Chains A and B, each alone.
Chain A
């Protein structure tokens, strides 16, 4: 111990001398202007020598510290030297650990930032025919075409359909919230991306009795695919039937209450009250006039699921949307809109190999039986201007087979009836305008056959090829080719309702 002490004093002295020397050199340099280069060189050399000496001394110290004290020496016992070395190392380690720990204790305001993901969905297409499913009345004001196809030009087209930001986080112990902000290229505005809030909703997390309340703007719980974001669909385009009957995604502004039945099997019910159903819906969404309670849209859905065994299962759902007294924006009147839907999904997913080999067969049927014209919006009237209640059917069915983890071919068939503008039809017997015939509707059938093939290079990237052959009741038939390329950035975890 004493040897160490002596050494320390010695080292201290050297350092002191150096310091004074250095200081003096500095003073000298200042008083005589710029120092000669040789002087600096000398100093440097001296420093190097001193450093070397210091290093030697340090080595000696370490050596001494490591050696047991010579027998009979006046120093401390050997064990104690060991202990102090250990103590020193321990202190060093503790110091490092403390520093590391302190470093992790930093707080950032951004630590509470919500989880964010971005979906980019881009489509290259070639369409033989720009016309939608309905030529409309030709004036442009009631352009009725299938909404998907008419928003983009015919022929060759590249479309940034989606750059969609998904943000979500818990709000507090009682609620969470999420928002989906979408920018898509607007064909009418030189393809400049227009921003829209697709969803922004608050969801309760700990209500009793298996209840959950959701409020804000959200995709209403109606049907199987209507509440899916377009880039999340199993196809490139939204099935024309649901696109026509609902008008894009099942968006609404409102409140939803859903309930999970405490049954041994899965049974879920939900009820929603909102301003509208359908992102592009033109039924009763005028916010200019005062809206009666009956002018709101009321929706309900019941869904259940059964496992046949480990590998086969089926899901059923039924949905209803009713607007008892919607505003007819075009004709400034009021009308009733009612939509009923049934859906099913069968899945063969062998437990051991489902990831690379499985089959999904699913479909949805919609029946529109209100006075609303699902295509033109507003009220449906006959030639005499009387409201017409018509039932139109629509739906799709698709099958998708998973060939491997990466490849999934599929086929979709879509059918819907279109309520065309009532035409003046003469009763062959009386020669008078036949309003009853009009009332049953001039339905035109629309059929679309769509084979498609999806390739997943990874979970976060997808390429899809699709061909649509459309036979349209009162428009030109169309051939459409799509190539879709979609990626997901950030935390892309599937919610329950987006499950595969």
Chain B
């Protein structure tokens, strides 16, 4: 979830709910803000709380206790709102855990139909207040104000701000994994496990957050104001799920689905500038211009905040002359570009020196293809054409490789490659034949015969046609156990 703020720093819009919620909102300049952590798997409540509190508090929301404890340990949280309906864990246990680790941290309990006993137990365990769902926003605000009377906004304070900045200052681009602090690591996944490192030493600083959607001062061609200590290289991976790898880490949190799509689109087209109107047409074709512009502003703001969490002073997405574009000072690389480069090099090498010399390039190209282009975003129309084109190229690469290996005494390798091709396109009769031949070479006559039937079935089912004469002849030969002609 992301928010955009107007010139007064007041949140005015949030985008679609989704994923694990995280948002930053801004208070009026010069006013102190506290960080509220909402632990609630219920998105509706999360959203309601965020909307209600966005102007005065910074609201972090997580669906489970584990992630909540990580944030609490990072000492970035001022108040906790704990919902009773946590998965796999009693909220009182979570409350006790919180109180055990941070006794002074105020906790408000939210519950749908709390018994009196639960209320009493919660207070005994150290809860500061107990509120009933559905949440009445006024009650919540009153409760928070009662617990912390000084919580009427303000600059973003606390160790969170300090730690994020410290992580950056300590060399984000070079030793990212070691210096990034607990808070920001929420966005980072390593081996599918969330990390639990705590924040850096205490301190109080403010995070500079851009508050408005205006043209930046940055000069796209050469920006003397660009902070040089930030990362200068950025990699985007589009094959499989879109993600941004950084050393051993992966950024896989996005500011909403549209935010992710726009980030991917800008990254994919990073060599050119994209008119705002073009983005509005692509991503909000049915919306009015004002609405589309507002939505786009929200998304771009979310994208900037995402990067800002890691490198506060660096500008990644710029806006100038009605165009959005990635900061040209960044060295942006993409797996798609590398894939196409390898493919072209392989082609030219094959033409000049034969397939054997081109194998290396083809192998590299095949290794880069981790999955279809943005496979999680098949409903983003702009991805469809490229997805199909890239898949075609990939299949050609595999075809080249499997053909070579099938003839070069590596039938097992060819079998695997053929199976990969058929998994993408089960009607490739030539590949079925190659697979049958490879099985024969390996001495698996039965598998070769079965492959014919699989081929026939696939052709019948999808195309309603019979296998071609070449396939039938090959089948007959295998059936009669005749030697195969290469």
Task: Tell me if chain B binds chain A.
Answer: no
Mark A residues whose CB is within 8 Å of B. Answer: none
Mark B residues whose CB is within 8 Å of A. Answer: none
